[in-house]
């Protein structure tokens, strides 16, 4: 079976990480010939190039040119399944669907923001009609984007236990982070994450104590460089923005608490990765998909902005609570959100007539 995956680029981000993990898992499955079609020449995950898949990096990324190039590629490959991973590629695929007989899987829903009025009209009257299946990584995502119940399907993110770092080397010390307590946020510095809140929380704690460091790991978008400039390149002794890193698993294994200050989430890869490493997570995602992942007070915490500082304080003061949260979180991910489960669910979906 030939499967084509469409995405603009493999830059650092949640959906990109999810796709990379899926490609890794599928490349070990028999019966699949996998084609990855990229509209831009950018791959932040070099391990993809080592997989037994065919990568097509397109040169013409203008709108009209891209539709034509997609048409040529699909006609050349003759796939049974085409899986889009962005709204744009889903839109183009919906336009091309009448010319082909592939199974169209639209997999662009990875958050709970919902559509603007303009995008909602296009989605309902074109993408949702032409797609065979619309995938979200959370039930809340399907609800927010008003996906037809007959076509919507939830496949939760999966975590590969091989990503748990085995090394005993503390790489944080190489970054100049040697305080006893480390609080980490894994997320790109983008409009979708509330990094001003993260900074406010960090400033509150470092003003009172010198035994704690707050670190942020994720790509810094240009429009946020001014916001984070006081904290990059070790300018601040206890608040550090490290930018995009390929060694996240090595860095978070020695952290004590994970934060996700956000506006809304689907199912966060960052939360899964932290929980899998036994790092207790606190998020303010009250209305997103995090409730499908975290049982509040049992394996993590979901609270409003004003309660985040007190929740951090509680964890720092109660070591038994911290250990219980850590153990429960780790057990949940390794039992219920494995990479093999995610890959098998996708593989089953692709094979369905």
Tens of pLDDT, residues 74-121 = 999 999 999 999 999 999 999 999 999 999 999 999 999 999 888 999
45/186 same-domain check: no
**Contact between 300 and 329 (Cβ < 8 Å):** yes
Number of domains into which the chain is organized: 2
pLDDT of residue 167: 86
Identify the weakest region by mean pLDDT among 7-16, 46-55, 188-197, 232-241: 7-16
81/206 same-domain check: no
C-alpha dihedral over 18, 24, 30, 34, to 10 degrees? 70
pLDDT of residue 61: 64
121/228 same-domain check: no
**Contact between 276 and 334 (Cβ < 8 Å):** yes
Report the distance separating Cα 325 and Cα 261, nearest Å: 19
pLDDT at 11 over 90: no
302/344 same-domain check: no
pLDDT at 128 over 80: yes
179/151 same-domain check: no
Alpha helices in the chain (DSSP H): 14-26, 63-77, 87-96, 117-122, 128-130, 139-144, 171-174, 195-206, 225-228, 248-252, 269-276, 308-317, 319-336, 339-351
**Contact between 212 and 294 (Cβ < 8 Å):** no
196/248 same-domain check: yes
**pLDDT band at 174, cuts 50/70/90?**
confident
Averaged pLDDT, 67-78: 95
Tokens of 218: 């994720």
pLDDT at 12 over 80: no
Longest CA span, the chain: 64
Report the 10 Å Cβ neighbour count for 317. 9
Percent of the chain clearing pLDDT 90 (strictly above)? 86
287/187 same-domain check: yes
Identify the weakest region by mean pLDDT among 2-6, 29-33, 204-208, 291-295: 29-33
pLDDT at 353 over 90: no
297/199 same-domain check: yes
Range of the domain at 211: 165-336
Report the distance separating Cα 15 and Cα 36, nearest Å: 14
């Amino acid at each position: 079976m030939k499967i084509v995956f469409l995405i603009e680029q493999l830059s650092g981000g949640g959906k990109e990480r999810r796709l990379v993990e899926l490609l890794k898992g599928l490349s070990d499955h028999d019966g699949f010939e996998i084609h990855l079609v990229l509209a831009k020449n950018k791959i932040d995950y070099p391990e993809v190039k080592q997989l037994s898949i065919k990568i097509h990096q397109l040169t013409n990324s203008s709108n009209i040119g891209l539709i034509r190039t997609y048409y040529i590629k699909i006609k050349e490959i003759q796939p049974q399944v085409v899986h889009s991973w962005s709204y744009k590629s889903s839109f183009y695929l919906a336009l091309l669907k009448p010319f082909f007989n592939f199974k169209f899987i639209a997999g662009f829903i990875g958050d709970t923001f919902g559509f603007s009025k303009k995008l909602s009209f296009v989605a309902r009257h074109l993408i949702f009609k032409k797609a065979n299946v619309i995938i979200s990584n959370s039930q809340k995502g399907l609800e927010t984007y008003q996906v037809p119940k007959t076509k919507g399907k939830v496949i939760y993110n999966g975590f590969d236990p091989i990503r748990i770092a085995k090394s005993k080397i503390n790489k944080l010390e190489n970054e100049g982070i040697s305080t006893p307590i480390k609080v980490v946020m894994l997320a790109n510095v983008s409009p979708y994450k509330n990094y001003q809140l993260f900074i406010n929380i960090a400033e509150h704690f470092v003003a009172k104590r010198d035994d704690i460091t707050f670190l942020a790991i994720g790509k810094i978008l240009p429009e946020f460089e001014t916001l984070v400039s006081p904290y990059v390149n070790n300018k601040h002794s206890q608040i550090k923005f490290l930018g995009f890193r390929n060694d996240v698993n090595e860095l978070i294994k020695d952290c004590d608490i994970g934060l996700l200050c956000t506006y809304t989430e689907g199912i966060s890869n960052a939360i899964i990765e932290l929980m899998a490493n036994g790092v207790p997570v606190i998020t303010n995602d009250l209305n997103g998909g995090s409730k499908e992942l975290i049982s509040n007070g049992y394996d993590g915490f979901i609270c409003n902005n004003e309660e985040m500082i007190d929740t951090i304080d509680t964890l720092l003061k109660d070591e038994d609570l911290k250990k219980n949260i850590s153990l429960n979180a780790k057990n949940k991910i390794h039992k219920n959100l494995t990479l093999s489960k995610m890959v098998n669910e996708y593989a089953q979906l692709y094979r369905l007539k």
